[in-house]
């Protein structure tokens, strides 16, 4: 008995979502197709009924992971009278640092995307630009000529601080990195 188009679409979506989470958690190269399909509760052999290649899956999964992070950032920034502070606090939180599978793909997938295909890199580039625009709006009180540079610098600091805080194996140093970056950004952008 065949599967309906709706079943196939649901399975496809589930594979992409599982991949997006696993790629953020383990990196693109740290996820095998057999494990991915098992976690999606599908057979390994069914992969190629949904994707022409692993690269196609990577591109779709990165797009989904980026959209997840974008939705969270937009929700934080979209609050009435929103300022940069809540975004800094959320991004540089211990919870964000520790929830890798659900965290910002701009941070978790930077190294993987740098070696990815054009579609994946274009999606990442578009997300970085969206974040720069979002941060630019949150620092609208700064002189116009300084806002874009401040937004780019803030994004680089946010991403770099979370990356470093995850990489070190000293919990106190990890928290210190997050706090120092948050304090510096708030001082510069408030």
pLDDT tens digits for 51-71? Answer: 999 999 999 999 999 988 888
Residue 141, domain CATH: 1.10.357.10
Q: Residue 113 is part of which domain span?
A: 5-189
Go through 105-139 and write b for each residue having 16 or more CB atoms within 10 A of its CB, e for each that does not.
bbbbbeebbeebeeebeebbeebbebbbebbbebb
Q: List the structure tokens of 163.
A: 């990356």
Q: How many domains does the chain have?
A: 1
Find how far residue 155's CA is from the centre of its chain. 12
| Residue 29 DSSP label | G
Residue 3, pLDDT score: 64
For residue 62, give the H/E element and its range. helix 54-77
Band the pLDDT of 6: cuts 50, 70, 90: confident
Kindly list the distances between the CA atom of residue 66 and the CA atoms of 38, 86, 169, in Å, as whole numbers in the listed order: 23, 20, 27
For residue 145 the two structure tokens come to 């000529």
DSSP 79: S
* pLDDT digit string, tens, across residues 118-177: 999 999 999 999 999 999 999 999 999 999 999 999 999 999 999 999 999 999 999 999
For residue 176, give Cα distances in angstroms to 94, 127, 168, 173, 182: 11, 28, 11, 5, 10
């Amino acid at each position: 008995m065949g599967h309906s188009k709706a079943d196939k679409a649901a399975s496809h979506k589930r594979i992409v979502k599982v991949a997006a989470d696993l790629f953020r958690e383990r990196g693109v190269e740290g996820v095998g197709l057999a494990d991915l399909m098992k976690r999606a509760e599908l057979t390994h052999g069914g992969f190629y009924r949904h994707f022409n290649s692993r690269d196609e899956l990577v591109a779709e999964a990165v797009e989904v992971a980026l959209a997840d992070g974008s939705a969270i950032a937009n929700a934080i920034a979209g609050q009435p009278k929103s300022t940069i502070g809540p975004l800094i606090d959320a991004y540089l939180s211990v919870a964000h640092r520790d929830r890798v599978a659900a965290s910002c793909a701009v941070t978790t997938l930077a190294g993987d995307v740098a070696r990815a295909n054009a579609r994946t890199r274009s999606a990442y580039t578009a997300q970085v630009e969206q974040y720069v625009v979002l941060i630019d709006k949150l620092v609208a009180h700064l002189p116009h000529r300084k806002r874009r540079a401040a937004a780019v610098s803030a994004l680089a600091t946010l991403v770099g601080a979370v990356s470093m805080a995850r990489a070190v194996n000293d919990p106190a140093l990890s928290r210190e990195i997050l706090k120092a970056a948050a304090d510096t950004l708030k001082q510069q952008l408030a």
